[in-house]
Structure 1
Amino acid sequence: MKKATKYIVVLAVLVSFMSCQENSRPNYQYMPNMYESIGYEAYQESDAFANGVEAQLPAEGSIPRGDFMPFEIENTNEGYAFAKANLTSPLDSTQIDYDKAGPLYGIYCGICHGNKGDGKGKLVQREKILGVPSYADIGRAITEGSIYHTLYYGKNTMGSYANQLNEEERWQVVAYVQKLKADLEK
């Protein structure tokens, strides 16, 4: 009998809720701004900011994006030739850190080019890729500019490392490649 009473009470509550609904007027809206949002104009004056529409100062403790300068030389054969002939490293000999450049080279370049620059990296040894020349091959005239251009844009089957290495790191790797090339030519 108690179960039947519970079912009757629940049914009565449900019927009373349904009978209170009027289709002629809208139901209650508990969060009306979600149903009828206010449209704001992008550059309208607002009292949300102290100066109205003017630009605001960055939030305290925010990290600036840095002085990013886009690479001005195009990703074309002409751009590669221009970089090869004219682009030189902005780092002087005191700024080159082979202890920093060596691991970067090992991570990004050594897998294909080999840790010594001899073109015998792990992927070449396992025959996953073929035709990676040594830095010291006769007729392989690589310069700082051509190495940097290749790191930035990629060349042939080699992809770009512009997203993985920042500008200073790319120049460090360029210096390391030049060192490997000099070591191989001895």
Structure 2
Amino acid sequence: MKGSILAMNKNKFVYAAFLAIAFAATFSACKDKRSTGLEYARNMYDPIAYNPDQPNKNFKDGKTAQLPPANTKPVGFEEYDEYPNTLEGYNEAGAKMVNPLTADSINLEQGKHSFVVFCAPCHGEKGDGQGHLVKIEKFNGVPSYLTGASSRGGNMIDLTAGKIYHTITYGVNNMGSHASQILPIDRWKIVMYVQQLQKGQ
């Protein structure tokens, strides 16, 4: 009996101590309105690495953002110098470049997705040149893949895979280059989907 009373008193003491600590913590947090309170494990959410625009004593020039070493290329980078951003380069790409991907349902579906994200705002989801940016009159003169004329000669419906790829890479007229946003393999998937739209499918 005496032991059970001691155990109950011990439990009450622990409970009272917990309440006192909780009250003290709450009171101290409310005391200074500008205080952020106690912080636990700051290193869990404060970055250890330098930000790109931060000074950095580890480099001679004191900058964190460094240029990559000479003659290095980003992962997945593919040279495209053999077809320059000229009318001659455009026509040569149209004559020589062939889509390396197989025209299967997976590539077409992925091409459609990329087309809807990057191209449809101007070209329209059907390739009719009536994207929502055209409809709000932000851009004019976007040709239809079925009935439009290319500003570089010929009809849009006759554009080859190489010409479409060249245009995605460099851009033309109001359309800027998409080389930095779309990987080469994804450009070919878009080309595949555009050629499906050219057929009216």
TM-score (ref. length: structure 1):
0.60
Check whether the contact 2:85–2:170 (CA below 8 A) recurs between aligned residues: yes
Is 1:135 matched with 2:152? no
Distance 1:175 1:96, change over 3 A: farther
Match of 1:76 in 2: 86
Q: CA deviation at 1:156?
A: 1.1
Q: CA deviation at 1:84?
A: 1.5
Distance in structure 2 (CA, Å) of the matches to 1:67 and 1:113? 27
> Once superposed, what is the RMSD of the aligned Cα atoms?
2.3
Identity %: 41
Distance in structure 1 (CA, Å) of the matches to 2:78 and 2:143? 32
Q: Alignment partner for residue 175 of structure 1, among 173, 192, 197?
A: 192
Give the secondary structure class of the aligned counterpart of 2:199: helix
The amino acid that maps onto 2:186 is E
Check whether the contact 1:96–1:172 (CA below 8 A) recurs between aligned residues: no
Q: Alignment partner for residue 99 of structure 2, among 76, 89, 93?
A: 89
Q: CA deviation at 1:95?
A: 8.0
Match of 2:178 in 1: 161
Distance in structure 1 (CA, Å) of the matches to 2:122 and 2:166? 18
Check whether the contact 1:113–1:133 (CA below 8 A) recurs between aligned residues: yes
Tell me how many residue pairs correspond in the alignment.
123
Once the two structures are superposed, residues 58-84 of structure 1 have per-residue CA deviations (whole angstroms, 9 ceiling, x without a partner) of xxxxxx954532112111110011111
Larger Rg: 1
Give the secondary structure class of the aligned counterpart of 1:112: helix
Distance in structure 1 (CA, Å) of the matches to 2:123 and 2:197? 11
Show structure 1 runs of 4+ deviating over 3 A: 64-67
Distance in structure 1 (CA, Å) of the matches to 2:76 and 2:116? 27
Structure 1 unaligned segments of length 5 or more: list them. Answer: 1-36, 41-63
Distance in structure 1 (CA, Å) of the matches to 2:193 and 2:79? 23
Check whether the contact 1:102–1:176 (CA below 8 A) recurs between aligned residues: yes
Distance 1:160 1:90, change over 3 A: same
Q: CA deviation at 1:96?
A: 5.4
Distance in structure 1 (CA, Å) of the matches to 2:105 and 2:184? 13
Match of 1:116 in 2: 126
The amino acid that maps onto 1:92 is T
TM-score (ref. length: structure 2):
0.56
Structure 2 unaligned segments of length 5 or more: list them. Answer: 1-56, 61-72, 149-154
Is 1:149 matched with 2:155? no
Distance in structure 2 (CA, Å) of the matches to 1:151 and 1:100? 16
